[in-house]
């Protein structure tokens, strides 16, 4: 029981030690391009916004916050995990500790398929050498004599690639590849979770995890190979590896939720504790990944071969370590075909358990509301509030810190107030928080404090409380033989709902040049959606209790 805790604490200590090596520049630890994918939103309009708006000097204090509260919070959360693992209220330690360690590693490891991956794609972009036009060179290069010379990697206007000195070309190429990957991911993930949900209910959870581990090695090897390919071949490899990664990663959280459900089926309080611990491990790993990935992005690598090769080795070692994760499902010989099992899952949520069917729609709406407004947070900070890009990236670190705090509070709250009451209260708190955040557009002077206090702080804590409630509720309602399918259906419903409505926030509702309530319209809309889901959930919960 104690060795798993020591592993978590060891990672925390190592991360802090790495952070302390940068004490010559106190604000640089988090004020760097941790999230290189945010450069996709930096356009010519952004420069106009910065020229038009004064810098919010009081916001610069956010970049100079003391590291002590962050470290204290992480230590408390690690201690909470330790209490859970050694408490006699928990499930058997060898099983739950291995699952939590795996979740921690997976969440930390998958971060490198996000921000560093985006930086890698940008670094590989190639284009013709720019020529000066009317005495000016494109962004990413400077005029020296009559020749456009690339900016150095340390320069803020670096093009992000040594193969292309035009930043606009680099960003547009990277955005095009990201768009292709995003469009293919939606369809692949829906199909994968449906099929994987049936298999994990028939043959167990472990095969799904083993498939993910093996594919992780293949994906990292493909990325290692792509470092030596031409641009056209590189694009093909990037798309192919994305297909493999989505196929393996999409069913992972349904499988892990099912494992927690299997271990806690007979005890509601244990179930809440375990799902809270699951979310704590995930959020703690995500927060530490932001810090551990910072040196990679700050280095502005021109060759990512050592990076991907080392991750390939790491994924191989992880596969050997986690290959014998405990199987939590006791299976019998399947009595029906795969398609019959799939139809049974759909029939259950459509006709047998109307509460559960409605809840899947509610959760999909919550996910849509959260992703819609939060995805615009850095643009909002850079445009309306006037923050510098590196300062704006701080919101992601605070976001995971708030989620981590909320997931730590979730278990005791469910024990004291009950699952359904805590769920409804968290939804209402989220709605009120983003409504208050939206008031920043009406009262611009208070926009920054409102965003940090309610848009990130109270909202993130409430969402951290809500996430374990989702797993605990589905686990308590879904039959044992349909757990994987219904957890998978929650992803499918969310994808189907998000396809037509997801682009509304970024393409229609958000106006980065607005100087009034229009600047925070997405937050008002999301608050309205969350308020609607809170009322809907409260009504069906009350009807459930009176049936």
- Residue 393: pLDDT band (50, 70, 90) is confident
Tell me how far CA of residue 448 lies from CA of 46, 50, 142, 165, 303, in angstroms: 18, 16, 35, 35, 38
Higher pLDDT, 99 or 265: 99
Which region among 25-34, 44-53, 215-224 has the lowest average model confidence (pLDDT)?
Answer: 25-34
Mean pLDDT of the chain: 80
How does pLDDT run across 442-478, given as a tens digit for each residue?
999 999 999 999 999 999 999 999 999 999 999 998 8
- Burial of 546 by CB count in 10 Å (0-12 exposed, 13-18 middle, 19+ buried)? exposed
- Residue 295: pLDDT band (50, 70, 90) is confident
137 found inside a domain: no
DSSP string, 267-324: -HHHHHHHHHHHHHHHHHHHHHHHHHTHHHHHTT-S--HHHHHHHHHHHHHHHHHHTT
Which region among 14-18, 71-75, 270-274 has the lowest average model confidence (pLDDT)?
Answer: 14-18
pLDDT at 486 over 70: yes
369 found inside a domain: yes
Measure the CA–CA gap between 260 and 189, rounded to whole angstroms: 22
- Residue 78: pLDDT band (50, 70, 90) is low
Which region among 27-36, 147-156, 196-205, 460-469 has the lowest average model confidence (pLDDT)?
Answer: 27-36
151 found inside a domain: no
Place of tokens 């708030």: 402
Number of domains in the chain: 1
**Residue 514 confidence (pLDDT):** 84
Higher pLDDT, 340 or 397: 397
48 found inside a domain: yes
Locate all alpha helices (DSSP H) within 111-205, ordered by sequence.
115-124, 167-202
Measure the CA–CA gap between 40 and 121, rounded to whole angstroms: 12
**Residue 541 confidence (pLDDT):** 92
Most confident of the following: 36-45, 223-232, 296-305, 493-502: 223-232
pLDDT at 28 over 50: no
**Residue 42 confidence (pLDDT):** 34
CB 493 within 8 A of CB 325: no
Cβ count within 10 A of residue 422: 24
What is the mean pLDDT of the segment spanning 139-164? 86
Measure the CA–CA gap between 286 and 453, rounded to whole angstroms: 21
**Residue 82 confidence (pLDDT):** 52
CB 485 within 8 A of CB 343: no
What is the mean pLDDT of the segment spanning 480-496? 88
Cβ count within 10 A of residue 497: 17
CATH number of the domain enclosing 245: 1.20.1250.20
360 found inside a domain: yes
Ramachandran category for residue 404: left, alpha or beta (phi over 0 → left; psi -120 to 50 → alpha): alpha
130 found inside a domain: no
Q: Torsions phi, psi of 142, nearest 5?
A: -135, 155
pLDDT at 392 over 80: no
How does pLDDT run across 342-356, given as a tens digit for each residue?
777 777 887 788 899
Higher pLDDT, 387 or 428: 428
Measure the CA–CA gap between 447 and 443, rounded to whole angstroms: 6
Nearest Cα neighbor of 293 from 5, 92, 473, 30 is: 30
Higher pLDDT, 332 or 109: 109
132 found inside a domain: no
Residue 64: give the domain boundaries: 2-125+160-546
140 found inside a domain: no
How does pLDDT run across 212-222, given as a tens digit for each residue?
999 999 999 99
Q: At what angle do helices 252-263 and 268-292 cross, to 10 degrees?
A: 140
How does pLDDT run across 225-246, given as a tens digit for each residue?
999 999 999 999 999 999 999 9
- Burial of 484 by CB count in 10 Å (0-12 exposed, 13-18 middle, 19+ buried)? buried
Higher pLDDT, 545 or 357: 357
CB 139 within 8 A of CB 157: yes
Which region among 10-19, 185-194, 411-420, 522-531 has the lowest average model confidence (pLDDT)?
Answer: 10-19
- Residue 297: pLDDT band (50, 70, 90) is confident
CB 293 within 8 A of CB 34: yes
Residue % of the chain over a pLDDT of 70: 80
pTM of the model: 0.77
pLDDT at 23 over 70: no
């Amino acid at each position: 029981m104690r060795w798993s805790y020591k592993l978590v604490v060891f990672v925390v200590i190592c991360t802090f030690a790495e952070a302390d090596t940068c004490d010559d520049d106190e604000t640089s630890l988090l004020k760097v391009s941790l999230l290189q994918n945010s450069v996709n939103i930096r356009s010519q309009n952004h420069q106009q916004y910065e020229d038009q708006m004064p810098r919010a000097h009081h916001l610069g204090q956010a970049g100079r916050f003391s590291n002590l509260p962050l470290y204290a919070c992480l230590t408390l959360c690690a201690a909470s995990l330790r209490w859970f693992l050694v408490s006699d209220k928990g499930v058997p330690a060898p099983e739950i500790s291995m699952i939590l360690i795996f979740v921690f590693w997976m969440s930390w490891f998958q971060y490198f398929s996000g921000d560093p991956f985006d930086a890698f794609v940008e670094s590989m972009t190639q284009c013709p050498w720019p020529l000066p036009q009317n005495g000016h060179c494109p962004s990413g290069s400077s005029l020296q004599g009559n020749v456009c010379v690339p900016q150095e990697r340390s320069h803020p206007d670096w093009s992000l690639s040594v193969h292309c000195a035009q930043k606009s070309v680099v960003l547009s190429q990277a955005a095009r590849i990201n768009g292709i990957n995003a469009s293919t991911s939606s369809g692949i993930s829906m199909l994968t979770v449906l099929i994987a949900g049936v298999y994990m209910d028939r043959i167990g959870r472990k095969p799904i995890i083993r498939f993910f581990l093996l594919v992780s090695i293949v994906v990292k090897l493909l990325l290692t190979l792509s470092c030596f390919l031409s641009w056209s071949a590189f694009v093909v490899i990037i798309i192919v590896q994305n297909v493999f990664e989505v196929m393996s990663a999409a069913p992972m959280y349904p499988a892990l939720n099912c494992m927690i459900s299997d271990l806690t089926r007979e005890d509601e309080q244990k179930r809440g504790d375990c799902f809270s611990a699951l979310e704590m491990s995930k959020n703690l790993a995500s927060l530490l990944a932001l810090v551990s990935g910072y040196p990679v992005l700050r280095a502005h690598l021109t060759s990512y071969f050592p990076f991907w090769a080392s991750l390939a080795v790491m994924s191989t070692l992880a596969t050997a370590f986690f290959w014998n994760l405990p199987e939590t499902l006791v299976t019998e010989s399947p009595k029906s075909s795969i398609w019959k099992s799939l139809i049974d899952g759909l029939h259950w949520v459509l006709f047998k358990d109307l509460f559960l069917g409605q809840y899947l729609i509610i959760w999909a709406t919550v996910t849509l509301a959260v992703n819609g407004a939060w995805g615009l947070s850095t643009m909002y900070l850079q445009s309306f509030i006037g923050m510098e890009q590196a300062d704006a990236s701080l919101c992601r670190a605070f976001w995971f810190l708030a989620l981590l705090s909320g997931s730590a509070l979730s278990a005791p709250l469910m024990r004291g107030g009950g699952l359904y009451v805590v769920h409804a209260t968290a939804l209402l708190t989220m709605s009120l928080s983003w409504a208050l955040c939206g008031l920043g557009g009406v009262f611009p002077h208070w926009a920054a404090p409102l965003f940090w206090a309610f848009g990130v702080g109270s909202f993130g804590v409430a969402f951290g409380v809500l996430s374990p409630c989702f797993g605990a509720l589905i686990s308590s309602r879904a039959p044992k033989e349909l757990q994987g399918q219904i957890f998978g259906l929650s992803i499918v419903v969310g994808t189907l709902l998000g396809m037509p409505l997801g682009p509304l926030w970024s393409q229609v509702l958000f106006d980065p040049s607005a100087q009034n309530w229009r600047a925070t319209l997405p937050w008002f809309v999301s608050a309205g959606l969350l308020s609607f889901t809170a009322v809907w959930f409260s009504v069906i919960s009350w009807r459930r209790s009176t049936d």
